[in-house]
A and B are shown apart, each in its own frame.
Chain A
Amino acid sequence: MTRRNLAAAFLALLLLWLVGYPLLVTLAQALEAPRWTLQHFTEFARRPEEWRALWASIWISLVTVGLAAAIGVPLAFLFERAEFPGRRVLGSLVALPVVLPPLVGVIAFLFLYGESGFVARGIQAVFRLEEPPWRLAGPAAVLLVHAYTMYVYFYLFTRAGLARLDAALLEAAAGLGARPRTVLTRVTLPLLRPALTGAALLTFMTSLASFSAPYVFGGGFRVMTTQIVASKLNGDIPAAMVETVTLAAVALIGLALIQRSETGRVVAGGGRGVAPARRQLGRSRRFVAGFGWVLAAILLLPHATLLLVSLVPRSTWTIEILPPVLNLSNYAALFSEPERLRPLVNSLWMAVAATAGALVLGFAAARLAVRGRTPLGGTLETLLAIPWALPGTVFAVALSATFSVHAPWVGRFVLVGTAAILPLGYLVRNLPLTGRAAFGGFRQLDPALDEAASSLGAGWWKRLSRVDLPLLAPALAAGASLAFLTALGDFVISIVLYTFETRPISIEILSSLRLQETGVAAAYGVVLAALSAAVFFLWGRRGDEMRTGSGLHLPH
């Protein structure tokens, strides 16, 4: 065995231990190894609330796909095919929700549309109602938040698909006498099919894994992710394991079904030629521009609300429509009180550590697989991609089950309750992001460059430092930025694995809300959103390409 294959085998074992092993442990616990019984599955099947949660997860995800498509696709056509004042700025603003951590979006919605939010208070005051006009709870609330946060996938994918479209194909159809409607249905949409399927897949998977929205707005309405966490918190570990296995199975079946529906339907011929010119709008341009600005305002309103609430000092806003006092006291508390600063520091160091680890593993795997052409290349790539296919809750529960037992001879150590478990959890979730970036980068890199360096006498370190890393830096930075953002804003892994000492920002937001410290919660949210936006715009912008090209974004 060559040194390269030995390194690949070692890396494959490490990834298997991190990614595959916890899932096997979860399955074994669900089957109550070593008794190996289906008893817990039988009990699961007998409980109607389990079926309700499972069905809720599925139908919520399907409806989310429909709603997100209904918003995202027309928006993409508008911004990609029509020219009007402010198109570029608005086009970017509309994509903004993708940058922000899911929990931040959820609490922003709460402050704006919740029963004590600005809109409800305003309506209550205007119509002199005794009770708030609505309660933002249940499936409708979850769908509203999902549609708001996930239409971006359809928007970005469709825009990218439209930009890649060859104008000559549309002109050929028109030249053959096809009317615009026929061109749309017979040429444009079929050519967009891969992009639309990619968006649908990503939306479905993200929705199936969604935790923040159902957790905050669900109330009595449970989906599988919240059901798993509830079972675990209630101490019903066997039920949590069976639910985890079931959710993982549903995710994999969904993934397989969508991918199977696309097999053999690969559309060739796209990506060549010049994209169609944008249509110059006539009289309607002002109307369209106005519509665009209003839309952008609506989409940005939740985040503006978050900023406003973050400036409201504690206990100063009770029954007024608008807060009477605004100052920076919440931010001062965040940065001056050690216990409030701790979650910020925790999130930062854990996100940095997890991203660095995931980056090293992704890079090593990609270099061995693509450059080294090791026979284990496919295995390495699959192992790195697995966490993408499974909801974060599944991995959180699997890691918790695996690393709460001291059995070093079978690769199990007590990490739950220590500072290591959360970074490890983030790392596992980040592997698809850094791995995909590294694999994509290496595949785009001309192998002759490495050969040229090698023929000029450069050893592996010089090739790595002078050729590979500088050329891969943009792709790696994009992957690392997305990984860092995911870890920084994580909620789903954190809620299962955090300890008081290692609590990250998301957990602190939740506890602040519980303590009625909405201003502090909002201030955390703003800091998180600002950090995320800064990282994204500094290093992650090339991630646009990755997301739209490969369907890469982690479920919430």
Chain B
Amino acid sequence: MTEKDGSPNQSASLRSATRPYLSLDHLEKTFGSLRVTADLSLVVSEGEILALLGPSGSGKTTVLRLIAGFETPDSGRVLVDGEDVTPLPPERRRFGIVFQHYALFPHMTVGENVAFGLEARRRKGPEVRDRVARALAAVDLAGFERRKVTEISGGQQQRVALARALAPEPRILLLDEPLSNLDPSLRERTRRELARIIRAAGITTLFVTHEQDEAFELGDRVALLHEGKLEQLGTARELYSSPATRFVAGFIGRSSVIPGVWEKATGRARLPGGAAWRAVADSDLLDGAPVDVVVRPEALTFAGARNGTAAEGRVLETRFAGHETYFSVALEGGGEVEVLAVPDAAQPGWKVFVAPLPAGPLPRVYPGTGLSLSPVEAK
């Protein structure tokens, strides 16, 4: 997040991120009886990097393919700078795409790969050579023109794919899980490089990922998809601290879900053991309605004794996480929560009292399903 928060490129990017540039207008797509994308609308500003985040099968790659023109929507439109590109074939959209497995042409050299898009647009010899050199230099691969794509590392292949996509100066850059093909050790470094290159290019970018860290670090904003629907669109901080739906709350970060009853007058959720926790809810939630209380581990603490907000429970197990530890606590009356606290705060088997931190983010409540989920299950 550091680069996003402080770099000059980021500032430049955000400065220009005001004019709507790429718009998805009520996109719908079904494969047979499977509805993959349901009435999806969103707007990406000029120069903005939007992360399309979601679990497997959420329809995010389909959305990318609809934008790229590889799939035709059943209804809805894709607009770029006001122009409806929906009827255009991919080769006439002038988008750059980085594929999950890069799709580098194995029979061509690095230089020929990067030159391909320029030649397809009828650029001539000296200009092509110059732009290939510049594109490769931009991804720190200057002088790699004659290398075979099969002889370079995975990280280098990824950068060649990026250079190839950027060389023809596309209107939009689309990236499909750009880091998923790399070793975990290489992924973080490449992620930073990718962010630097894209921001330097200042291009409107949409990338697909199922990794929260990736989405949060690379994306100016994040669009979270679930079963083809847009659950929430916002900054990483907004998604984490103000999840719009129960799915968002469960998907972003760690959280526990416990059953409760909503007390509208006091703005509290009553837990089965009797404790009542102050919480945030939609205004139309009725008094006395069963709710799911979603709470993050860092928002809970161990209280000294039972009081109105402390729920009694027993520590089931602990998970060491460096300077802090996650404690799984089975609450009296039902439900299980996870508490983040100092390692010696409790031991498995201890009876404890759990309460929300007074200054911490408030638990959020959603219409109840009656289910109680541990943080892992909630994912």
Q: How far is the CA of A452 from the CA of B104 in the complex (A)?
A: 8
Out of B106, B107, B120, which one reaches A453, CB within 8 Å? B120
Residue contact B90 to A466, C-beta cutoff 8 Å: no
| Interface residues in A447-467 (C-beta closer than 8 Å to B) | 448-449, 451-459, 462, 466-467
Q: Which size bracket describes the interface of A in this complex?
A: 10 to 19
B221 CB–A CB distance under 8 Å: no
| Interface residues in B19-75 (C-beta closer than 8 Å to A) | 68-70
Out of A448, A449, A458, A470, which one reaches B120, CB within 8 Å? A458
A328 CB–B CB distance under 8 Å: no
Q: How far is the CA of A245 from the CA of B106 in the complex (A)?
A: 48
B237 CB–A CB distance under 8 Å: no
Please judge, given known A-B contacts A451-B97, A457-B121, whether A471 and B106 are in contact too, CB under 8 Å. Answer: yes
Out of B68, B100, B107, which one reaches A455, CB within 8 Å? B68
Which A residues lie within 8 Å of B89 (CB)?
Answer: 454
Q: How far is the CA of A454 from the CA of B120 in the complex (A)?
A: 9
Which B residues lie within 8 Å of A462 (CB)?
Answer: 120
Out of B94, B96, B97, B116, which one reaches A458, CB within 8 Å? B116
Which B residues lie within 8 Å of A471 (CB)?
Answer: 105-107
Residue contact A451 to B91, C-beta cutoff 8 Å: no
| Interface residues in A71-130 (C-beta closer than 8 Å to B) | none
| Interface residues in B85-106 (C-beta closer than 8 Å to A) | 89-97, 99-101, 103-106
Residue contact B120 to A452, C-beta cutoff 8 Å: no
Smallest Cβ distance from A374 to chain B, in angstroms?
Answer: 15
A337 CB–B CB distance under 8 Å: no
Residue contact B68 to A451, C-beta cutoff 8 Å: yes
Which B residues lie within 8 Å of A451 (CB)?
Answer: 68, 70, 90, 97, 99, 103
Smallest Cβ distance from A461 to chain B, in angstroms?
Answer: 11
Q: How far is the CA of A471 from the CA of B168 in the complex (A)?
A: 23
Out of A449, A457, A466, which one reaches B91, CB within 8 Å? A457
Smallest Cβ distance from A91 to chain B, in angstroms?
Answer: 29
In this complex, what residue of A is CB-closest to B90?
A: A454
Q: How far is the CA of A386 from the CA of B244 in the complex (A)?
A: 58
B268 CB–A CB distance under 8 Å: no
Please judge, given known A-B contacts A449-B103, A449-B105, A451-B68, whether A457 and B97 are in contact too, CB under 8 Å. Answer: no
| Interchain Cβ contacts within 8 Å, total number | 66
Please judge, given known A-B contacts A451-B68, A451-B99, A451-B103, whether A459 and B116 are in contact too, CB under 8 Å. Answer: no
Of residues A452, A453, A470, which shows the largest number of chain B Cβ atoms within 10 Å of its Cβ?
Answer: A452
Residue contact B105 to A455, C-beta cutoff 8 Å: no
Residue contact B99 to A448, C-beta cutoff 8 Å: yes
Residue contact B94 to A452, C-beta cutoff 8 Å: no
In this complex, what residue of B is CB-closest to A473?
A: B107
B367 CB–A CB distance under 8 Å: no
In this complex, what residue of B is CB-closest to A453?
A: B116
Of residues B70, B95, B121, which shows the largest number of chain A Cβ atoms within 10 Å of its Cβ?
Answer: B70
Of residues B96, B103, B165, B168, which shows the largest number of chain A Cβ atoms within 10 Å of its Cβ?
Answer: B103
Residue contact A448 to B101, C-beta cutoff 8 Å: yes
A131 CB–B CB distance under 8 Å: no
Which B residues lie within 8 Å of A455 (CB)?
Answer: 68-69, 90-91, 93, 95-97, 165
Q: How far is the CA of A268 from the CA of B94 in the complex (A)?
A: 44
Please judge, given known A-B contacts A451-B97, A457-B168, A458-B116, whether A446 and B103 are in contact too, CB under 8 Å. Answer: yes
Which B residues lie within 8 Å of A453 (CB)?
Answer: 105, 116, 120
Interface of B is mostly: loop
Which A residues lie within 8 Å of B100 (CB)?
Answer: 448
Which A residues lie within 8 Å of B165 (CB)?
Answer: 455-456
Out of B70, B104, B117, which one reaches A457, CB within 8 Å? B117
Residue contact B105 to A457, C-beta cutoff 8 Å: no
Of residues B68, B90, B101, which shows the largest number of chain A Cβ atoms within 10 Å of its Cβ?
Answer: B90
In this complex, what residue of B is CB-closest to A466?
A: B116
Residue contact B101 to A456, C-beta cutoff 8 Å: no
Q: How far is the CA of A471 from the CA of B92 in the complex (A)?
A: 24
Smallest Cβ distance from A372 to chain B, in angstroms?
Answer: 13
Which B residues lie within 8 Å of A454 (CB)?
Answer: 69-70, 89-91
Which B residues lie within 8 Å of A470 (CB)?
Answer: 107
Residue contact A459 to B99, C-beta cutoff 8 Å: no
B131 CB–A CB distance under 8 Å: no
Which A residues lie within 8 Å of B97 (CB)?
Answer: 451-452, 455
Out of B69, B106, B107, B164, which one reaches A456, CB within 8 Å? B164
Q: How far is the CA of A471 from the CA of B68 in the complex (A)?
A: 24
In this complex, what residue of A is CB-closest to B167?
A: A456
Which B residues lie within 8 Å of A458 (CB)?
Answer: 91, 116-117, 120
Residue contact A448 to B168, C-beta cutoff 8 Å: no
Q: How far is the CA of A410 from the CA of B104 in the complex (A)?
A: 49
Q: How far is the CA of A454 from the CA of B92 in the complex (A)?
A: 8
Q: How far is the CA of A449 from the CA of B108 in the complex (A)?
A: 12
Smallest Cβ distance from A86 to chain B, in angstroms?
Answer: 34
Which B residues lie within 8 Å of A446 (CB)?
Answer: 101, 103
In this complex, what residue of B is CB-closest to A458?
A: B120
Which A residues lie within 8 Å of B70 (CB)?
Answer: 451, 454
Of residues B68, B89, B120, which shows the largest number of chain A Cβ atoms within 10 Å of its Cβ?
Answer: B120
Q: Mark A456-486, 1 if CB is under 8 A from B, else 0.
A: 1111001000110011000000000000000
Smallest Cβ distance from B280 to chain A, in angstroms?
Answer: 43
Q: How far is the CA of A260 from the CA of B68 in the complex (A)?
A: 44
Residue contact A456 to B99, C-beta cutoff 8 Å: no
Q: How far is the CA of A304 from the CA of B116 in the complex (A)?
A: 52
Which A residues lie within 8 Å of B116 (CB)?
Answer: 453, 456, 458, 466
Please judge, given known A-B contacts A451-B70, A456-B164, whether A467 and B117 are in contact too, CB under 8 Å. Answer: no
Residue contact A456 to B103, C-beta cutoff 8 Å: no
Smallest Cβ distance from A212 to chain B, in angstroms?
Answer: 41
In this complex, what residue of B is CB-closest to A457?
A: B120
| Interface residues in A427-457 (C-beta closer than 8 Å to B) | 446, 448-449, 451-457
Which A residues lie within 8 Å of B107 (CB)?
Answer: 470-471
Q: How far is the CA of A457 from the CA of B88 in the complex (A)?
A: 12
Q: Mark B301-327, 1 if CB is under 8 A from A, else 0.
A: 000000000000000000000000000
A-B contact pairs, 23 of them (CB 8 A): A446-B103, A448-B99, A448-B100, A448-B103, A451-B68, A451-B103, A452-B97, A452-B105, A453-B116, A454-B91, A455-B68, A455-B90, A455-B91, A455-B93, A455-B95, A456-B91, A456-B165, A457-B92, A458-B117, A458-B120, A459-B91, A470-B107, A471-B105
Known: A457-B168, A471-B105. 16 other contacts (CB 8 A): A449-B105, A451-B68, A451-B70, A452-B99, A452-B103, A452-B105, A455-B68, A455-B96, A456-B116, A456-B120, A456-B164, A456-B168, A457-B94, A457-B117, A458-B117, A462-B120
- 8 tightest A-B contacts by CB? A456-B117, A448-B103, A457-B120, A452-B103, A454-B90, A458-B120, A455-B97, A448-B99
